[in-house]
Amino acid sequence: MTDDQLQQSIERHFAAGSAAIADPQAMNAFLALRAALESGSIRAASPDPDALTGWRVNAWVKQGILLGFRLGTLREWPVTGLSFIDKHTYPVRLFLPGDGVRIVPGGSSVRAGAYLARGVVCMPPMYVNAGAYVDEGTMVDSHALVGSCAQIGKRVHISAAAQIGGVLEPVNASPVVIEDDVLVGGNCGVYEGAIVRKGAVLAAGTVLTRGTPVFDVVKGEVLRATAETPLVIPENAVVVPGARSINKGKGQAWGLSLYAAVIVKYRDDKTDLSAALEDLLR
């Protein structure tokens, strides 16, 4: 089945609603999509230089992931004495040494339908959800989450307790995109379709959402999401958590401040040295 044929089949079965549950061809289409997602040949979002943000959302792929939930039935998955209950269409992914993915013992989980490239390192406990794409040489550190359909580039470090949000609905919503060579610090949160461009650094504790204003003190600009585009962090930007004072009402009288993300510099050789630990861990 070609990609175009698979897309047509997924769209048809998704539109059929509950009627697809009794159609064995719907399950066949879903399993073909799940295998393609795991091989990395099909993605929930793809680089596209003609798109406004440089990324194209493949809504039909997310329809297929949702179709898998519709078709799935609850099943018990016993693992070394523990019991887990989930849809049978989304078991835990199993890896072999030849896959080149390093999963350190200690409670990590990668759901079926996620792609992990060769050289990815998973430190326990971490979790990668269905539809996610994690490219070569990336480290997903302890207590980190890569949400559904999130797109993670090459040589990214997702530090301990960082959260990369996921999205399935609405199907045309942009997933979070972390491009190549990004350092995501500990306890960061990147949500609601934010795009972090190549080489950027998010300092520990930085939170990015669609409503987060980012103050670029280097260029004198304030970056925000628009009706057409998500929040975009520029290439090589170094972003730290900051605060902005409330300048009216009780907030001003009480001396309160609101969270703000601040670009304090753009990455250079000295900034790169702070990421050298990654190479020692691989």
pLDDT in tens, 74-133: 999 877 667 889 999 999 999 999 999 999 999 899 999 999 999 999 999 999 999 999
- Which CA distances in Å does 51 have to 45, 55, 229? 11, 6, 10
User: Do 105 and 125 form a contact (C-beta atoms < 8 A)?
Assistant: no
Residues 226 and 130 in one domain: yes
Q: What is the CATH number of the domain that holds 56?
A: 1.10.166.10
User: Quick one: pLDDT at residue 281?
Assistant: 47
Residue 278 has pLDDT above 90, yes or no: no
pLDDT at residue number 82: 74
Q: What is the pLDDT of residue 11?
A: 98
Q: Return the closest-CA partner of residue 47 out of 147, 154, 138, 144.
A: 154
Residue 246 amino acid letter: I
Domain housing 232: 101-274
- Residue 86 placed within a domain: no
pLDDT tens string 175-230: 999 999 999 999 999 999 999 999 999 999 999 999 999 999 999 999 999 999 99
Pair 132, 223 in one domain: yes
Residue 136's nearest CA partner among 109, 101, 103 is 101
pTM, two decimals, is 0.94
Q: Are residues 107 and 59 in the same domain?
A: no
Whole-number pLDDT of residue 3: 94
